[in-house]
Amino acid sequence: MSLTGYSIGVASIRTRSEPRTGPLMAQVSEMARSLSMAMCVGYPEKEGDRIFNAAAVFDDTGRLIHHYRKTHLFGAYELAVFTPGGAGELACSRLNSSSKPGSLAFGLMICMDCEYPEPARLLALQGAEIIILPTALGAGPVQHLTPRCVVPTRALENHIFIAYANFCGPAAGPDDSAFVGQSAVIGPDGMDLCRAPGPESIHRHASVDSACVRCADVESAAFAADVARNPYLTARRPELYAAISDAAACAAAGRA
Amino acid sequence: MSLTGYSIGVASIRTRSEPRTGPLMAQVSEMARSLSMAMCVGYPEKEGDRIFNAAAVFDDTGRLIHHYRKTHLFGAYELAVFTPGGAGELACSRLNSSSKPGSLAFGLMICMDCEYPEPARLLALQGAEIIILPTALGAGPVQHLTPRCVVPTRALENHIFIAYANFCGPAAGPDDSAFVGQSAVIGPDGMDLCRAPGPESIHRHASVDSACVRCADVESAAFAADVARNPYLTARRPELYAAISDAAACAAAGRA
C-alpha cells in the first residue's frame, strides 16, 4: 500500500482509493517511463463499490503489465475495507526490458499471502521465476519468523526468487503501528542475496542508509545445481494432494 | 532410519530391511511396553520385493498404532533402494495414553517430506495436532534452512506442533556423511519449545548432554490467540488451489 500508506484507517483507505487508471497511478506510470525502470506499487484499488488491496507492475515504458488483488486478507481491518481477489489473480506475467534481451516470468503476492504455502506454489507451477512481495508486517513477538523463515522457505520450496519489500519503522497513520523492515531478495536456494536492516538500524541512523537499497542479480542458471539436488517442483506428487483444494476438507479443519 | 542407520549403502539397507512385524520391530514394541512410553522408530520396511523408507509408532502398551511410508524420496540413493509411499500414507492416528486422559491426533512425515508444503498441509487438514518428523539431514551450505526455517514454517502455517528428530554427527556407515542435529519441538506459533544443539556441541562435549533430550508440553489451547489472529487453516481459499493437485501443472513446471 505504498501509494497511500497502510495503517491509515478505513475511512482514509476509502477516500484515497482509486481505479487502476487513476491519477496517482498515472504518476507512477510516468515515473517508470521517465526513469526507464520497471516499478511495482501497492495501492487501494477502487472498482465500483469495492476496494481491493492491490499491486501493479509498470514496465520501463510506463505500461501497466501486471495487476494483482490480494487473495488472503489479514485481520479485521482488512476484512472491513477490502474485497479479496478471486480466481485468476495468482497468475504470471513476463517482464521485457527495453534495454536488456530476454524476459522474466514473475508473479505478485501481497503480505499475508506469503504465510500460506499455496499462492507461491501456484505461481511457481505456472513458471514464475520471481515473486514480487510487497508487505506491511507489523512488530510483534514472532516478527522475525515471516522475513527470516517463511519467505526464505517459499523461495526454497519453489526454487524461485522472491523480492520481499517490507514497510519499515513507524506507520504514517492514526495508530501506533510499527513495521519490521528486513526487506530482502532471496535466491532459489533460500539464501539472502541482499537484506535491508530492521527498524532499529533505521532509527539509529535517522535515515535509510545505502545498505537498505541494493540490487540483486536474478539469474536462475546459477542455482541449477540446487534445483537438480532437490527438484521440488518436478518431484512433486500431485496425485496425493487433492484435499488441498477440497472445500470440505478446509471446512473440516476448523478445529476447536 | 534409527533402527538400522541411514547411510549404510543399498546392500546393507536391503539386508537389514524387515517387515513391520519383524524381530527388531518386535523388540521396539517390547521396549515401548516395558517403559510404558509411546515410541516412534524409523526403519527400512520390507514387503515382498519392495523396501520402503518407513516409520512406525507404538503406543505405551507396545501396540503398533501408526505406520508411514515416506512419500517424497530424496536423491539417487533413496530412489535406488526405496519405493515411495502412495495414497493413504499421509493420514492421522490418535494416540491414547494408558496413564493420561484424552488423545492426541498425530501424523508422520519423514525427512524430505517436510521440504514440500503439501504433506504437512494434508495432515493438518485431517486434524493432526502434532507431526512427528524423523529425519537425517546432511551437512551442507544451507544446512540451517531446514531445521531453522522450513520446519518452523510448517508448524506456523498449519498451526501444528512438530517434533523434529534429526540425526546428529557422523554417520554410522561406509560414507563420510555428517548430520546436523538441531532436533526440536516447535509450537503452532512457529517458535521453538525446545531445541537440541548441532554436531559442533555434540563433538565438543564428546557426549550427548542433557540439553539434547528434553520434553515439551504439547497443549494446543495455549496457542488459541495465535490461531485466532492468523487463522491459516480456516481462512484458506481451497477454491483457488486446484492446480496444486493437477498432474499436468506439475509436469509443466519442469522448467529448463
Considering the domain boundaries, does residue B2 fall inside one?
A: no
Considering the domain boundaries, does residue A5 fall inside one?
A: no
In angstroms, the separation between the Cα of residue B236 and the nearest Cα of chain A is 7
Q: Give the three-class secondary structure for B64.
A: strand
Count of domains for chain B: 1
Which chain A residue shows the shortest CA-CA distance from B255? A127
The helix/strand count (H/E) of chain B reads as 9, 11
Residue A201 banded pLDDT, cuts 50, 70, 90 = low
Tell me the pLDDT tens digit for each residue of A72-115: 999 888 999 999 999 899 999 999 877 777 888 999 999 999 99
Considering the domain boundaries, does residue B65 fall inside one?
A: yes
Residue B99 banded pLDDT, cuts 50, 70, 90 = confident
Q: Which domain does B213 fall in, by range? A: 10-252
Phi and psi (nearest 5°) for A34?
-70, -30
Tell me the pLDDT tens digit for each residue of B19-33: 999 999 999 999 999
d(CA A115, CA A32): 30
Considering the domain boundaries, does residue B61 fall inside one?
A: yes
pLDDT at A161 over 90: yes
What's the complex ipTM? 0.90
Of residues B178 and B149, more confidence is placed in: B149
d(CA B95, CA B215): 17
**Least confident span in A21-30, A50-59, A205-214, B191-200:** A205-214
Residues of A within 8 A of B242 (CB-CB) are: 245
CB contact under 8 A, A124 and B253: yes
Q: Which of A232, A235, A245 sits opposite B241 (nearest CB)?
A: A245
Tell me the pLDDT tens digit for each residue of B42-52: 999 999 999 99
Are A40 and A93 within 8 A, CB to CB?
no
d(CA A132, CA A80): 25
Considering the domain boundaries, does residue B149 fall inside one?
A: yes
| Domain harbouring A210, CATH code | 3.60.110.10
Q: Which of B86, B117, B152 sits opposite A145 (nearest CB)?
A: B152
Considering the domain boundaries, does residue B191 fall inside one?
A: yes
pLDDT at B174 over 90: no
Phi and psi (nearest 5°) for B19?
-70, 165
CB contact under 8 A, B127 and A255: yes
Tell me the pLDDT tens digit for each residue of B54-74: 999 999 999 999 999 999 999
Quote the DSSP letter at residue B83: P
CB contact under 8 A, B241 and A125: no
Say what the pLDDT of residue B84 is.
95
pLDDT at A130 over 50: yes
Cell numbers for B204: 565438543
Q: Which of B237, B242, B243 sits opposite A72 (nearest CB)?
A: B237
Residues of B within 8 A of A151 (CB-CB) are: none
Alpha helical stretches, state H, A99-169:
117-125, 145, 151-158
Are A199 and B205 within 8 A, CB to CB?
no
Q: How much helix, strand and coil, in percent to the nearest 5, is found in chain B?
A: 35, 25, 40
CB contact under 8 A, A240 and B90: yes
Say what the pLDDT of residue A132 is.
96
Considering the domain boundaries, does residue A1 fall inside one?
A: no
CB contact under 8 A, B240 and A121: no
Residue A214 banded pLDDT, cuts 50, 70, 90 = low
Tell me the pLDDT tens digit for each residue of B137-161: 988 777 889 999 999 999 999 999 9
Which parts of chain B are beta strand (E)?
A: 39-47, 50-58, 64-69, 92-96, 103-108, 130-135, 161-166, 168-170, 178-180, 184-186, 192-195
Are A132 and A207 within 8 A, CB to CB?
no
Alpha helical stretches, state H, B60-206:
75-81, 117-125, 145, 151-158, 199-205
Say what the pLDDT of residue A102 is.
80
Residues of B within 8 A of A191 (CB-CB) are: 142, 145
Considering the domain boundaries, does residue A3 fall inside one?
A: no
Average pLDDT over residues A193-202: 75
